[in-house]
């Protein structure tokens, strides 16, 4: 009997949908029944964003507050594989992704089902991934694979270009000279190979060794410096989120948060990375290796 795959995700610009389309293409070509579902919040986030709305979602995003989604109607009661797309928003699972993983319709099919997670982030997806792994564990899913694609340009460059994209709505070059924002078209197309990698494991119903193979194919973008920055920023975001939600001056707190982000990126990050390079990294190779494995491992 043909294997059944559910590919479910949220996407604003369509980027994550394109990645999912490329990953699932080899499966569809091989005759696998792939059901694709793009979920929608009842009150969807307008795209492009305004600066104010963008920062306004930070507290609920970081604190994992779910929202109501439009009904999710699935054709099957069980699947051989679920391909779950999610985004990182403010170093956390995006609000729609977090809500999806807590949705009864999805939870019903996640139990004991193999799941491959897929993200298309700017470049900071590690903390969000930890959140997604936790939600998958809570749903008793069997996490068998992870694919994480990012914008490979320098962190400060992609910071400018993503705002050009998210606030302007078009994945074009800022002023005609900056690099294109988001995951490069070539990397999106390359994700077909990951689908080809998944296919024999899906057909056999055995997943041992698949993630290792995906890692050798560079399906998981991991960067030491960004890991250090995320590790430092994660707890600070939680502090900002709590402060904003408990303050009578939420708007003001969020506008200060915006400046904190700029200073953290352009002043704090270079200092932190310099200190790390001189005082920490050379003396903690085992710890660094363990940390990396923690992010690359699935359980």
Ligand X SMILES: Cc1cc2nc3c(=O)[nH]c(=O)nc-3n(C[C@H](O)[C@H](O)[C@H](O)COP(=O)(O)O)c2cc1C
3-state secondary structure of 59: helix
Local structure of residue 77 (DSSP, 8 states): S
The least CB distance from residue 65 to ligand X, in Å, is: 14
Cβ proximity to ligand X, 95 vs 202, nearer residue: 95
| Shortest separation between residue 260's beta carbon and ligand X, angstroms | 14
Catalog residues that contact ligand X under the rule CB under 6 A.
11-13, 15-16, 54, 57, 87-91, 120-125, 166
In the bound state with ligand X, the residue whose beta carbon lies nearer, of 30 and 48, is: 48
Question: Please, are residues 242 and 63 in contact by the beta-carbon 8 Å criterion?
Answer: yes
Q: 114 vs 7, 49, 84, 137, 241, CA distance in Å?
A: 12, 34, 10, 12, 33
Return the number of the residue (88 or 161) whose C-beta is nearest ligand X: 88
Q: How far is the CB of 258 from ligand X (least distance, A)?
A: 12
CB closer to ligand X out of 32 and 261: 261
Radius of gyration of the chain (CA): 19
By beta-carbon proximity to ligand X, the closer residue of 121 and 210 is 121
Nearer to ligand X, 88 or 99 (CB): 88
Q: How far apart are CA 36 and CA 128, in angstroms?
A: 23
Task: Report d(CA 80, CA 68) in Å as an integer.
Answer: 27
As measured in angstroms, the least distance from the Cβ of 50 to ligand X is 11
Residue for token pair 């979920």: 39
**Secondary structure (DSSP) of 132-162:** HHHHHHHTT-EEEEEEEEE--S-HHHHHHHH
In the bound complex, what is the minimum distance in angstroms from residue 54's beta carbon to ligand X? 5
Minimum CB separation of residue 213 from ligand X in Å reads 24
The least distance separating ligand X from the CB of residue 286, rounded to whole angstroms, comes to 27
Residues 6+ apart with CB under 8 A from 146: 116, 117, 118, 129, 211, 214, 219, 220, 296, 298
Q: Return the H-helix or E-strand segment holding 111.
A: none
Nearer to ligand X, 86 or 201 (CB): 86
The residue (of 11 and 197) whose beta carbon lies closer to ligand X is 11
Short-list 40, 41, 38, 32, CA closest to 8: 38
Query: 190-220: buried (b, 16+ CB within 10 Å) or exposed (e) per residue?
Result: bbbbbbebbbebbeeeebeebbeebeeeebb
Least distance in Å: CB of 102 to ligand X?
19
């Amino acid at each position: 009997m043909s294997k059944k795959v559910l590919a479910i995700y949220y996407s604003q610009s369509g980027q994550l949908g394109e990645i999912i389309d490329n990953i699932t293409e080899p499966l569809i070509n091989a005759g696998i029944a792939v059901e694709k579902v793009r979920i929608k919040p009842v009150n969807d986030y307008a795209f492009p964003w305004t600066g104010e709305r963008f920062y306004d979602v930070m507290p609920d995003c970081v604190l994992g507050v779910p929202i109501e989604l439009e009904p999710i109607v699935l054709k099957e009661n069980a699947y051989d594989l679920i391909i779950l797309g999610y985004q990182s928003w403010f170093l956390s699972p995006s609000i729609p992704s977090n809500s999806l993983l807590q949705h009864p319709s999805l939870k019903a099919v996640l139990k004991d089902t193999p799941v491959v997670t897929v993200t298309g982030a700017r470049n900071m997806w590690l903390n969000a991934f930890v959140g997604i792994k936790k939600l998958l564990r809570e749903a008793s899913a069997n996490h068998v694979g992870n694919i994480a694609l990012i914008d490979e340009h320098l962190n400060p460059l992609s910071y400018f270009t993503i705002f050009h994209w998210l606030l302007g709505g078009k994945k074009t070059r800022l002023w005609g000279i900056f690099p294109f924002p988001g995951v490069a078209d070539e990397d999106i197309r390359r994700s077909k190979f990951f689908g080809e990698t998944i296919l024999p494991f899906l057909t056999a119903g055995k997943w041992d060794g698949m993630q290792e193979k995906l890692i050798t194919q560079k399906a998981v973008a991991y960067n030491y410096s960004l890991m250090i920055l995320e590790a430092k920023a994660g707890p600070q975001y939680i502090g900002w989120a709590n402060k904003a939600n408990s303050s009578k001056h939420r708007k003001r707190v969020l506008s200060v948060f915006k400046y904190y982000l700029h200073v953290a990126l352009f002043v704090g990050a270079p200092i932190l990375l310099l200190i790390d390079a001189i005082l920490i990294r050379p003396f903690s190779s085992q710890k660094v290796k363990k940390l990396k494995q923690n992010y690359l491992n699935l359980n």
